[in-house]
Chains A and B, each alone.
Chain A
Amino acid sequence: MPTISIRLDRVSKRFDHTVKGEVYAVRDVSLAVEQGELLTLLGPSGCGKSTTLRMIAGFEEPDAGTISIDGKDVTHTLPNKRGIGFMFQNYALFPHLSVFENVAYGLRVQGRDEAGLIRAVGEVLELVGLASYGRQQPHQLSGGEQQRVALARAVVFQPRVLLFDEPLSNLDAKLRVEMREQIRALQKRIGITTVYVTHDQEEAMAISDRIAVMERGVVVQDGTAFDLYYRPRSEFVARFIGRTNLLAARVVSATEVEAEGLRIALASGRPVGDTLRLVVRPEMIDIVPSSDGTGRITQRTFLGEKTDYLVMVAGTTLQVSATDHYRRPPMEAGQPVAVRFHPEGIHVLE
């Protein structure tokens, strides 16, 4: 059985809101993060993900519930006694210290001897690819470099747990992809338990072992990226992770449902006449040109690796993605098409 490194048990945090009065930032959140696992807290802004992270770090204290790290209750422990490495959205590099001294900070606080300190800082700067930057001042570095200094500073004193608070949101798109790969590689190499906060679902899917989706202070679903994408438990998750067509359907037989006037082969296991809500991802729908088709293309967006279409079917607009556009001429807006669903990918919402 895997060991649990971080455990949150029914943790709540309330804030005084000037207009709304007392509001829950986080409500009854329970989570367990395994040793060496990377868990992402994902959700829109204001969902409580950062507050949850800051409570794990000890910057905020929960009003209820307990937090433990490596089996030890740290609910009321000060942040400096928790052994955590924290990456801030704005990096929070000390502006008056050089790169070397920024990274060395945690070791100096521990009272590490000078020789060991120089070696450890050198190694970790090497690890993040900044070996020759030790004497630079933070303001002389680019955003990506500052990011890596912050990462080096967070891991150099070998914390038990690494926490990331939207670390990539200040970087441009290309650098963001590069950095998240670096972070993931480093995390795997040193095998450190990590909690990562982001509002970017693509980033979450790319980096995580497991994702916990939060909405209004509550964890609404946690699981692998694959689970969340193909088996969302709620409309919120279905809409938040990837793009989705949410269709109302009616069971017409044991093996068929009807949605938007189309028959779909789906063994729902529900009685005939029941209404269902279906999650149909854009790539689960095929469209082919057909003059007697059931749908009509209203918009086409060519994106290189795929083409996105909006297709009007029985008064509803469906999102459709096609990746096989290199095999046949692209379809134009206005063209009538026949629409077919891939039943194996369709998910029924409870």
Chain B
Amino acid sequence: MTVAAAQAGSWRRVAADPTLLAILAAVWLLLGLFVVYPMVELLMRAFVDDGRFSLAPLLESLADPSHRAAFFNSLFLATSVGLFGTALGFLFALTAVRCGLGRHWLTLLDAFALLPLVSPPFTTSISIIFSLGPKGLITHDLLGFANVSPYGYWTTALAETLTYFPIAYLTLRPILAAIDPNLEEMAFILGGSRWRIFRTVTLPLAVPGFANAFLLLFAASLADFATPLILAGNSFPVLPTQAFLQITGMFDFKGGAVLSLILLVPAAAVFLLQRYWVGRRTYVTVTGKVGQRSRTRAMAPWAAVLLVAGCFLVAALIAYFYALLVWASLVVAFGANNSFTWAHYHVIFTEGLPAIRDTLIIAAIGMPLGGFYGVLVGWLIARRRFPGQRAMELVAMINYALPGTIVGIAYLIAFNDPPLALTGGLLIIVACYVFRYSPTGIRATVALLQQIDRSLDEASSSLGAGTGETFRRVTLPLIAPAFFAGLGVVFIRSMTAISATIFLVSISWTLITVRILENMTELALGPAAAFSVFVIVAVFVVITGLSAVLVRLRAPAAGAAARSFLGG
């Protein structure tokens, strides 16, 4: 059969199914509007001058030494965070898998490792300023230094490492758990020393995991906007913040677009490398073996003690940062006046109330839309056959894979003028969250559907149900866990994300994260801390609620879906 004939066949098939046709048309329309169109507008703005294609703006931008510095700083920072974060993640993963800790200790370890992932982006940054600033708890009070600057490469790298190392932990833990302890036992019996076994058996088996973790961290750091905005300062400019300043400081949309596109090059390279090279290798290792713990003797007691001590130190640092945050939200002026007050909470629930209300409204609208969109597209990709399927899968991932700064600038450029003047409104922020964070739901749905036999769809079909009815009666109930995971991710990100949406907020619609940033720049650190505590509590409550729902559903893959909360 020729390809053309096959295409014709599959077109005919789609045409015979009006529901599917309508769904496809709707999804493509949305993807076209909120993914393709903004990207095209961004590229046009960057590369078209007076109706003609031109590389001049790009070359100009590259010629600017501060931009070049930002580019190399970004790469340097991302590499450092990739290395440090992978090391830290490996420490936690090895401890969790090999040290024979009890269940409660493991839960605690998990909690400390995952806390940074669900916190608002400034949490660590605020605490670092409190600790290492000119009046810092550590630098000033403890060590007695005066006028220390908390800004620059080291603090940024530290904050990002602590924020993103859980990604490495989540990547490496199942891989280490899946390495058959018998392999190590066997090497041990054969007379290898423990260190030798670790070096020659365990580490090589974990190499794809290391590569994957490194790339994921690299991408996360590259895209991170909030941390460098607070901590990097003037001495260490990076691309996302430079692009932001170009637009908000100089109203130079073109310059911002160009800078964000320079960021795109390493981001796309890492994404492709991760997805098509490393991602595939590790995929097989991960399946089904998560949580299986070995009680191998290949870990020497002193090494186990060392590992646990290392984890304890990191956990203590994280605990200290969070305690500091809570404390700072409850005292009049941190470092200057340490008397107790509820004033900061009073501020966020009065002055700050519009931001809280807006954020909750946006989350409330975005959650069901994002959850449903994720499930629908995941189902189309995993279960239906139609022309352009691969293209749909790829396009749906674009906003998720790109650094938020690029997406934000693209939306700003695309929707600032008629015919689609959406900036300043609610819709644009909701759309940004839905199309940026629902791909987690899409992936959870695809993973879930891969475990559910296709014959269920066929059974429904043979019993007379059409596409829509099968989706409603069979597919939807079975992929409910993915739906709730999708809800969770959209909620968490609505509460914590800033990189894309900072370009989209307005006087009428703003976000908690943006208010935190404003507080930080006004040096109103108390309200910033109070806002952060509020976000952490809200996220904790919602995740606990959704996890309870998932447990009640008792679906086969609920666990996997719950884990995917953190995948975004």
What is the chain A residue whose CB lies nearest that of B455? A92
A93 to B469, CA, bound (A): 17
What is the chain B residue whose CB lies nearest that of A15? B1
A58 to chain B, nearest CB (A): 8
Judged by a CB distance under 8 angstroms, whether A14 is at the interface is: yes
Judged by a CB distance under 8 angstroms, whether A85 is at the interface is: yes
B549 to chain A, nearest CB (A): 15
What mask results when residues 174 to 199 of chain A are scored 1 for a CB within 8 Å of chain B, else 0?
A: 00000000000000000000000000
Q: Which one of B16, B458, B461, B477 contacts A96 once the chains associate, using CB atoms below 8 Å?
A: B477
What mask results when residues 16 to 37 of chain A are scored 1 for a CB within 8 Å of chain B, else 0?
A: 0000001000000000000000
Judged by a CB distance under 8 angstroms, whether B567 is at the interface is: no
Q: Which one of B9, B17, B461 contacts A61 once the chains associate, using CB atoms below 8 Å?
A: B9
Do B16 and A80 touch (CB < 8 A)?
no
B430 to chain A, nearest CB (A): 31
B488 to chain A, nearest CB (A): 21
Tell me the count of chain B residues lying within 8 A, CB to CB, of chain A. Answer: 25
Do A94 and B459 touch (CB < 8 A)?
yes
Tell me the count of chain A residues lying within 8 A, CB to CB, of chain B. Answer: 34
Do B461 and A78 touch (CB < 8 A)?
yes
Would you call the interface of chain B mostly helix, strand, loop, or mixed? Answer: helix
A14 to chain B, nearest CB (A): 5
Judged by a CB distance under 8 angstroms, whether B13 is at the interface is: yes
On chain B, the residues within 8 Å of A93 by CB distance are 459
A144 to B465, CA, bound (A): 26
Do B458 and A109 touch (CB < 8 A)?
no
From known contacts A14-B1, A61-B9, A63-B9, infer whether A157 and B464 are also in contact, taking CB-CB under 8 Å.
Answer: yes
What is the chain A residue whose CB lies nearest that of B469? A109
B472 to chain A, nearest CB (A): 11
What is the chain A residue whose CB lies nearest that of B463? A106
Do B463 and A109 touch (CB < 8 A)?
yes
What is the chain A residue whose CB lies nearest that of B466? A80
What is the chain A residue whose CB lies nearest that of B13? A61
Q: Which one of B462, B469, B477, B556 contacts A79 once the chains associate, using CB atoms below 8 Å?
A: B462
Do B458 and A76 touch (CB < 8 A)?
no
B174 to chain A, nearest CB (A): 25
Do A92 and B456 touch (CB < 8 A)?
yes
Do A59 and B463 touch (CB < 8 A)?
no
A63 to B461, CA, bound (A): 21
What is the chain B residue whose CB lies nearest that of A22? B1
Q: List residues of chain A with CB under 8 Å of any chain B CB.
A: 14, 22, 57-59, 61, 63, 76-80, 82-86, 88-90, 92-96, 105-106, 108-110, 153-154, 157, 163
Subset of 17 A-B contacts with CB under 8 Å: A14-B1, A59-B461, A78-B16, A78-B466, A80-B465, A84-B462, A88-B455, A88-B459, A90-B453, A92-B453, A92-B455, A94-B460, A96-B477, A106-B463, A108-B473, A109-B463, A153-B459
For the complex with contacts A77-B16, A94-B459, A109-B473, 18 further pairs of A-B residues with Cβ separation under 8 Å are A59-B461, A61-B13, A63-B1, A63-B5, A78-B466, A79-B458, A79-B461, A79-B462, A84-B462, A86-B458, A86-B462, A90-B453, A92-B458, A96-B477, A110-B464, A153-B463, A154-B462, A157-B464
